[in-house]
Amino acid sequence: MSRFSRAFLCLSIVCIFVAFTTESHAARRRAPRPADAPKHAIILLIDGLHMDSLQKADMPAMKKLADEGALIKRVSLIAPDHPHQGPYARVHTTAIPNVSLLAGNFFIPEGCHLAQDSFYSEGLTAHGVNEYSYQSINKNFCISYMNPNVKDGQLLDWAARAQREDNILFMLLHLQNVGEAGIRCSHRGTGQPWDRNIWGEGSPYIDQLHVTDAAIGKFVDDLKKAGTWDSTLLIISADHGQSIHGFHPAVSPDAWRTLAIVVGPGVKKGFTVEQADQIDLVPTMCSIMGVPAPNAGPGCGLVLNEIKTGATDTPTRKTSWSEIYNEQLREFMHVQAQLAELALKDETEWWGSYEGLETGFYQIHQILDWNEQKTVEQFLDRNRQLLDRAKTRLANPAYHEWDGPPPKPRAQVGQ
């Protein structure tokens, strides 16, 4: 091959590569955003925010924002587990709901897109959190501020300054102090009324809600002074809820439920939504902002059209995938414990039932593999079948459920 031919071949390969990447990038850039879309979007997460916080604590700033926008009374999320080993832990440094929220998807396979991916080609993006354990979701944020030495109010002061100086298009903020106060309440033996009771008299959890609420009020005032508030879409929610005993055990219903407030251009005022899934928040934000959701296909959250100005009030979310899975997870733990006890007494008779459920049920730490099922409905139905077979065996030991054809092993799904 001549020198000219080799050079031409190399140039062709480079051109093909550039064309491919440019086309892929352009596909994500999409058409220009609508002229009337908000100019800024902010997701503000309050770590460990209990679903009933607005009723249980004096929070005037957030209540005012709820009156000015839409309040989602119950936001359900995937059980807030934080696997520290296995495939998930090799990819992510934070609890599962932080990833599924930003993905806007029930399925979060390795490499899935996050909310910031919908904005980074359009303008600056920023991530601010007063903790270190969120590094894995930093990708494609232009600005990252992670400082465990600042309080919630100081973090919001940084955010207001960054917005004023850098004109941030999309910002993710995660306030940690409320969740930390919940952990204090979870300790036994304090002798205080709030010992394992976040709503007890003198509770540090309630005190911190007051402090964080005041900081949010100041943050909004700062955005108004900067002249950006009227063009900002703000979503206030949480990465997870809070057990009334403190902390966020994955099996606690209070830990997998929180609330959300959505306020800004294009959002109804004084509107209430009874329920939504956490994975609905980012698709809804993207729809209002005029950008595509970070992911498409099975497992995507829904756009809550009922909160949009001029839309009908018909609820969008009628079935919570997260609630169904979380209840299945609690049931799995109960049934599996019974099978384990029986298998220890008579392994020949019961080991097959124990192993069949253990290896077949999609457990929380296997979340990167959940998308082996083609739809969320198929995923939940498979778990349901396995649980029902195991429960039938427990009720009737003569029934050998694994003698029949079980659901396909996970590795064979789709083959």
pLDDT in tens, 209-255: 999 999 999 999 999 999 999 999 999 999 999 999 999 999 999 99
Cβ contact 209:178 at 8 Å: yes
CATH of 38-318, one of 3.40.720.10, 3.40.50.920, 3.30.70.890, 3.10.300.10: 3.40.720.10
Cβ contact 114:99 at 8 Å: yes
At 310-348, the pLDDT tens digits run 999 999 999 999 999 999 999 999 999 999 999 999 999
Q: What is the DSSP letter of 47?
A: T
* Distance from C-alpha of 217 to C-alpha of 153, rounded to nearest angstrom: 10
Stretch 266-285: mean pLDDT: 98
User: Would the pTM of this model clear 0.85, i.e. be above it?
Assistant: yes
* Distance from C-alpha of 245 to C-alpha of 151, rounded to nearest angstrom: 23
64 CB-contact burial (10 Å; exposed 0-12 / middle 13-18 / buried 19+): middle
Q: Which residues contact 219 (CB under 8 A, 6 or more apart)?
A: 44, 156, 157, 159, 160
* Joined tokens for residue 242: 């809070």
Supply the pLDDT for residue 162.
97
Supply the pLDDT for residue 19.
39
Domain range summary for the chain, segments of one domain joined by +:
38-318, 322-409
* Distance from C-alpha of 320 to C-alpha of 237, rounded to nearest angstrom: 17
* Joined tokens for residue 167: 């004109």
Q: What is the DSSP letter of 194?
A: T
More confident residue, 6 or 377: 377
At 65-116, the pLDDT tens digits run 999 999 999 999 999 999 999 999 999 999 999 999 999 999 999 999 999 9
How many other C-beta atoms are found inside a 10 Å radius of the C-beta of residue 383? Answer: 23
The enclosing H or E element of 288 equals helix 281-289
Supply the pLDDT for residue 261.
99
Mean pLDDT of the chain: 91
At 117-161, the pLDDT tens digits run 999 889 999 999 999 999 999 999 999 999 999 999 999 999 999
Stretch 280-293: mean pLDDT: 97
Supply the pLDDT for residue 127.
98
* Distance from C-alpha of 29 to C-alpha of 220, rounded to nearest angstrom: 30
Supply the pLDDT for residue 121.
87
Residue 11 has pLDDT above 50, yes or no: no
Supply the pLDDT for residue 407.
55
